[in-house]
């Protein structure tokens, strides 16, 4: 029986560092690191490279910007620890694939960002990821941002994104064995196995 651990926090809260530390403790050199970000500009390329340099070279890296559950299922053979970083990008990737503004990144969405098909795809992917963690003998650490504590976004895409990520986080938290909230690098356990 596997274990699902959800790590939530704001930007630069320490959630990825905490997840990597736990992955090292539990998996040593045998960790599958699942990256959901896409490198579409120079700044993102530099961020990704910095992340790669901070991880042990022995960790296998799987890039899965969409359909992360299928990618994990297809690739993981021996890793007993899987770190998915992060659901934040995964949700953004789904939203942008369906409704990215054409020509102007700050323009109006090209399709309805509140389309139920987008939410269905996101929630199906995170549910399948949670099932994988529980069906196989793995410890899966899943990192995601908490974006519901700020102002209501002014634009459709921002509101749709906040709603999608919030629902995905709720789905994961409901299925997780443990949930942590990180603030200023300090982890606070919100849920432990057998609670709620």
70 found inside a domain: yes
CATH code of the domain containing 147: 3.40.50.300
44 found inside a domain: yes
- Residue 134 appears among annotated catalytic residues: no
52 found inside a domain: yes
Block mean pLDDT (10 aa), the chain, length 196: 94 92 95 87 68 81 94 86 96 90 75 90 96 93 92 87 96 97 96 73
25 found inside a domain: yes
148 found inside a domain: yes
In the block, tokens 């022995």 appear at 58
Residue 169 confidence (pLDDT): 97
93 found inside a domain: yes
31 found inside a domain: yes
Residue 51 confidence (pLDDT): 72
Give the domain range for residue 149: 3-191
Quote the crossing angle between the two packed helices 156-175 and 87-99, to the nearest 10°.
140
Give the count of domains, the chain. 1
Single out the catalytic residue among 3, 24, 51, 73: 51
Cα–Cα dist 40/57, whole Å? 24
Q: Buried b vs exposed e over 171-182: b needs ≥16 C-beta within 10 Å?
A: bbbebbbbbbbb
Contact 85, 19 (CB under 8 A): yes
196 found inside a domain: no
Cα–Cα dist 130/115, whole Å? 24
């Amino acid at each position: 029986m596997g274990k699902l651990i959800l790590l939530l926090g704001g930007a630069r809260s320490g959630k990825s560092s905490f997840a990597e530390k736990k992955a090292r403790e539990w998996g040593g050199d045998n960790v599958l690191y699942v990256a959901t970000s896409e490198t579409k500009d120079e700044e993102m390329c530099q961020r990704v490279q910095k992340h790669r340099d901070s991880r042990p070279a022995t960790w296998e890296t799987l890039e899965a910007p969409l359909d992360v559950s299928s990618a994990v299922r297809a690739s993981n053979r021996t890793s007993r620890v899987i770190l998915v970083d992060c659901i934040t990008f995964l949700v953004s990737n789904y939203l942008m694939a369906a409704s990215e503004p054409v020509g102007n990144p700050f323009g109006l969405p090209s399709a309805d960002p509140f389309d139920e098909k987008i939410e269905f795809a996101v929630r199906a992917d995170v549910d399948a990821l949670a099932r994988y963690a529980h069906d196989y003998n793995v410890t899966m650490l899943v990192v995601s941002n908490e974006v519901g504590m700020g102002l209501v976004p002014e634009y459709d895409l921002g509101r749709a994104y906040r709603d999608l990520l919030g629902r995905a986080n709720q789905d994961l938290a409901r299925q997780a064995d443990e949930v942590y909230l990180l603030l200023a690098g300090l982890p606070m356990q919100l849920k432990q196995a057998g609670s709620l």
